[in-house]
């Protein structure tokens, strides 16, 4: 999976991939593996070779919103330097990535965090309810830029907990070809954990699948971030070609527990065509078929179906009945348990939205209608709405106002 770059970076590579790349440059694989583990486990890049690249995009903005479980934090990293000329040509002030740290308290009372990462700047899918879609696709992110969001998030959490971390304005590491200044001493004040990572930020992950898979392999590496594969979820609007690739991917050793979420958001093709243009290429019947293939090859993990509830668009009782019929293959029967979970997401209005947020009564009514049909259904709690950090709200207003010219520099699979 790892193609050794000219100047390898531990960000976005597995330990063995990094070691192999370094061995081609004359460093022993054993020393490279040790340097890799030290970098991720102790935040110490001093053992990395001089030819290694370590660049963490600086955090230029942080927005916090209190909720019942803690503080929801949206943070923005800036990627301008390699692309200043192209930015000026398009009238863009900056290239920014938005990510969100979401607090959660589990059944045992332990506090943890979910990190919502972006896989692209902007998005080409055009979904009418999504802020990111209004930007168009600017470019895809590299695996290193994706993993860099994880690094920045844990450093922000360390600062929040009162440790000796760095300023959230610039996330530095020590070592070769790095950005920033002096990190906390190794082994002191370890960052608060990121318990889950969800590819639900800016962009369509399956439109940048090669880099997303590299990032996941790095995040799950036992010598690296060591995030369990079962704690990583990829959310897609339903790119059937990408889902077919995932059918193969999840059959690899160690990948079967990867979480997969499908943004359905409509009960029929007519409604879905209106709010999700991709449905005109791959309709709901074809989408359901490939999901059934996924279920067959990894029966131990439920598929998450996401449904953004939009007033007057997809929230009627008839819509609930149609959705229940579409979900029938994933509902518990006498011979199988639930193999699908419906996550109802109250719509979070984007900028200049034609729709309001749904009322609590309408959300409860729709959830009740789904439950009555035997659907395993939960409601997603709304966090970060006032800071434009909630589901469907990530996006840069300045980019929306540009004359859009596509930039696809990092291996999009489209």
Q: How confident is the model at residue 362 (pLDDT cuts 50, 70, 90)?
A: very high
Provide the pLDDT for residue 408.
Answer: 36
Q: What is the pLDDT of residues 123-181, one digit of tens each?
A: 999 998 888 888 889 899 999 999 999 999 998 887 766 554 443 333 444 333 444 33
Whether the predicted pLDDT of 190 surpasses 80: no
CA-CA distance, 169 to 174, in Å (whole number)?
Answer: 16
Contacts of 307 (CB under 8 A, 6+ apart): 264, 265, 314, 323, 342, 343, 344, 345
Do 241 and 414 contact (CB within 8 A), yes or no? Answer: no
Whether the predicted pLDDT of 221 surpasses 80: yes
Q: Does 225 or 385 have the greater pLDDT score?
A: 225
pTM: 0.86
Provide the pLDDT for residue 213.
Answer: 98
Provide the pLDDT for residue 395.
Answer: 55
CA-CA distance, 64 to 70, in Å (whole number)?
Answer: 10
Whether the predicted pLDDT of 46 surpasses 50: yes
Catalytic residue numbers read 391
Helix-, strand-, coil-residue percentages of the chain, each rounded to 5: 35, 20, 45
Q: Does 6 or 357 have the greater pLDDT score?
A: 357
Query: Which backbone phi and psi does 393 adopt, to 5 degrees?
Result: -110, 0
- Mean per-residue pLDDT over the chain, rounded: 84
Q: What is the pLDDT of residues 50-97, one digit of tens each?
A: 999 899 999 999 988 888 878 889 999 998 755 556 666 666 767 889
Provide the pLDDT for residue 414.
Answer: 35
Contacts of 69 (CB under 8 A, 6+ apart): 103, 104, 105, 111, 383
Domains of the chain: 7-48 (no CATH), 59-400 (3.20.20.70)
Provide the pLDDT for residue 396.
Answer: 58
Distance between start and end Cα atoms, the chain: 19
Least confident interval from 267-271, 312-316, 345-349, 387-391? 387-391
CA-CA distance, 257 to 252, in Å (whole number)?
Answer: 10
């Amino acid at each position: 999976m790892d193609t050794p770059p000219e100047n390898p970076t531990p960000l976005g590579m597995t330990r063995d991939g990094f070691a192999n790349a370094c061995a081609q440059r004359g460093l022993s694989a054993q020393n490279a593996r040790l340097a890799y583990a030290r970098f991720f486990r102790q935040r110490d890049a001093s053992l990395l070779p001089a030819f290694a690249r370590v660049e963490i995009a600086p955090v230029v903005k942080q927005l916090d919103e209190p909720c019942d479980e803690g503080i929801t934090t949206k943070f923005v990293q800036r990627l301008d330097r390699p692309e200043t000329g192209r930015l000026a040509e398009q009238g863009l002030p900056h290239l920014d990535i938005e990510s969100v740290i979401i607090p959660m308290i589990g059944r045992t009372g332990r506090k943890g965090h979910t990190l919502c990462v972006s896989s692209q700047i902007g998005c080409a899918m055009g979904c009418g309810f999504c802020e990111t879609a209004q930007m168009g696709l600017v470019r895809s992110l590299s695996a290193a830029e994706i993993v860099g969001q994880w690094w920045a998030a844990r450093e922000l959490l360390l600062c929040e907990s009162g440790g000796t971390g760095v300023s959230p304005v610039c996330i530095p590491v020590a070592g070769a070809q790095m950005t920033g200044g002096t990190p906390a001493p190794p082994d002191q004040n370890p960052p608060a954990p990121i318990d889950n990572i969800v590819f639900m930020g800016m962009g369509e992950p399956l439109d940048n699948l090669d880099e997303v898979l590299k990032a996941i392999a790095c995040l799950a590496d036992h010598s690296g971030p060591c995030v369990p594969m079962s704690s990583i979820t990829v959310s897609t609007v339903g790119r059937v070609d990408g889902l077919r690739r995932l059918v193969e991917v999840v059959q690899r050793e160690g990948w079967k527990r990867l979480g997969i979420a499908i943004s359905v958001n409509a009960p029929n093709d007519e409604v879905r065509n209106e709010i999700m243009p991709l449905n005109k290429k791959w309709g709901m019947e074809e989408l359901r078929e490939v999901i059934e293939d996924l279920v067959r090859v990894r029966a131990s993990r439920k598929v998450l179906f996401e449904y953004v509830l939009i007033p007057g668009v997809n929230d009627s009782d008839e819509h609930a009945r149609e959705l229940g019929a579409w979900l029938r293959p994933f509902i518990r029967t006498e011979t199988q348990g639930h193999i699908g979970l419906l996550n109802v997401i109250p719509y979070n209005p984007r900028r200049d939205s034609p729709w309001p947020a749904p009322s609590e009564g309408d959300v409860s009514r729709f959830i009740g209608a789904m439950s009555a049909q035997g659907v395993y259904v939960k409601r997603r709690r709304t966090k970060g709405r006032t800071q434009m950090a909630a589901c469907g709200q990530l996006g840069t207003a300045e980019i929306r106002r540009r004359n859009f010219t596509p930039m696809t520099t990092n291996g999009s699979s489209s």
